[in-house]
Amino acid sequence: MNTKIQHTRIDAIYASVPEQEVFTADYPLFSPEEARSFTKNTGIHARRVAPDGVTCSDLCALAAEQLLLDMEIREEIDLLVFVSQSPDYFLPATAILLQERLGLKTDCMAFDVNLGCSGYVYGLQIVGQFIQSGAVRKALLLVGDKSTISTAFQDKSTYPLFGDAGTATLLSFSENATPWFVNTGSDGSGKESIIIEGGHSRNPYGTYSEELLDFNGNQHSRSHLHLDGLSVFNFALSHVPLSIEQALFLAQKSITEIDFLVLHQANGLITKSLARKLSLPMEKCLSSIEQFGNTSSASIPLTLAFHGSELGSRQNLSLMLSGFGVGFSWASVFFTIDFPTTKLLTYA
C-alpha cells in the first residue's frame, strides 16, 4: 500500500535503554572464535538487558515522561499508541495503562498495535492519518520491546542477538509540514520464520511440553522465540529494496537524494547487503546495533536518538526509514524534516 501523509510533524524522539550492558564476548556458550564471528556478522558488540520486573512499558514510560516534562504538553496529548510485542498483560491494553501512568487526560484515545520490527513506521502511518484528518493535534507514539524475555539462554541464534529498549515520539499537526510518503506490506506466508508458537490462543500454556527442543544445535522451547535467520535474510533482500523504491517513487525522488537511511537494526550483514543492493554508501546508513543489538520495534527511533547529538542542528534532512521482519511485514517512509529534539536515557 502506498500512502501520502500530510500536515504531520515529528517534534521529538526520546529513547530509554536498561542500565545493564551485556557483551557478546562474555556469552559463555560462545567460544572466543564463535564470539568474534558472531560480532563480525551481526555487528553486535554489546546490548542492553532489562532486569526481571522491568517491562517494555516501563522503558517507554521513562522516555515519555521526560519528553512530556521537557515539552510541557501533557494536557495537549489527544492520542497515545503503544506499538510492541511485549505488552504488560493479555488485557487490558498497555496503552491504556500508560495513559493513566503518564497523567494524560481521560479523553485521550489509547490503543495497542501488535507489531515487531516494522512497527515504528506502521505506527507513524497510523498516527499520521489521525493527525492529517484533523481529529488529533498532538500524539504520543510509544514503541519498544523487551525481546530478551522471549529468548532461550541455550539458543545461540537468538539469545545474544536481542536487546531491550523503549521509545517515545511526539507528533503534532502542522499546516506547513512536508508530506510523508509511505509504503507498507505484509506476507503471512513467512509467519513461521519468526515465531513464538506457544502461550496464546492457538497453543495455550499448559497444553504443550516446555522441554527444550534442538534446532540445528540451538535449543529452545515452544514458549521461546524461533528465528530462521536465512529466511529473514532472503526476505529482507527481496522486499525491502522494493518498498524503499516504492516510497521514493511516490515522493518523486531518487536514492541519491536520501541524506540518511535508517533501517531496522536486524543485523549488520543485512544492513550492509541492503545498502549494497540499493547502491547507497554505508556512511549514509545510520546504525546503533553495535551498542544495543537488535531492539525490534524500537530500533529505528533508538538509532535516531542515538545519533541526535551529531544531527540535532541539521535542517531539511531527507530521511528514509524502513522496518521489516516478523509476519512477514515491512514499511518504509520518506520525508524531509528539520531533525527533531532527541534524548537518550538510561533506565536504572
**pLDDT at residue number 216:** 79
What is the distance of C-alpha 242 from the center of its chain? 20
Q: CA nearest 158: which of 15, 328, 344, 326?
A: 326
d(CA 220, CA 29): 14
- Active-site residue, selected from the candidate residues 117, 224, 239, 285: 117
**pLDDT at residue number 197:** 93
- Active-site residue, selected from the candidate residues 7, 56, 294, 307: 294
- Location of C-alpha cell 539462554: 153
The cell numbers describing 135, all together, are 481529529
The helix (H) or strand (E) run that includes residue 252 is: none
In percent, the amount of the chain with pLDDT more than 70 equals 100
203 is catalytic: no
Whether 118 shows a pLDDT value over 90: the answer reads yes
pLDDT in tens, 48-97: 999 999 999 999 999 999 999 999 999 999 999 999 999 999 999 999 99
Task: Give, rounded to a whole angstrom, the gap between the first and last alpha carbons of the chain.
Answer: 41
**pLDDT at residue number 313:** 84
**pLDDT at residue number 265:** 98
**pLDDT at residue number 52:** 96
d(CA 206, CA 177): 51
Whether 217 shows a pLDDT value over 90: the answer reads no
pLDDT in tens, 178-197: 999 999 999 999 999 999 99
Predicted model pTM: 0.97
- The band of 212, judged by pLDDT with boundaries at 50, 70 and 90, is confident
Which range (126-140, 181-195, 207-221) has the least confidence? 207-221
Work out the mean pLDDT of the chain and round it to a whole number.
96
pLDDT in tens, 285-307: 999 999 999 999 999 999 999 99
pLDDT in tens, 257-270: 999 999 999 999 99
d(CA 141, CA 103): 16
294 is catalytic: yes
pLDDT in tens, 224-267: 999 999 999 999 999 999 999 999 999 999 999 999 999 999 99
**pLDDT at residue number 220:** 87
Whether 336 shows a pLDDT value over 90: the answer reads yes
Whether 149 shows a pLDDT value over 90: the answer reads yes
Q: What are phi and psi of 315, to 5 degrees?
A: -120, 155
Whether 46 shows a pLDDT value over 90: the answer reads yes
- Top pLDDT among 200 and 116 is at 116
Amino acid letter, 40:
K
- Active-site residue, selected from the candidate residues 218, 264, 267, 307: 264
d(CA 98, CA 52): 19
**pLDDT at residue number 200:** 87
41 is catalytic: no
| CB distance 299 to 47 below 8 Å | no
- The band of 161, judged by pLDDT with boundaries at 50, 70 and 90, is very high
In sequence order, what are the residues at sequence separation of 6 or more whose Cβ sits closer than 8 angstroms to the Cβ of residue 229?
A: 157
d(CA 85, CA 216): 26
Domains of the chain (ranges; CATH) run 1-348 (3.40.47.10)
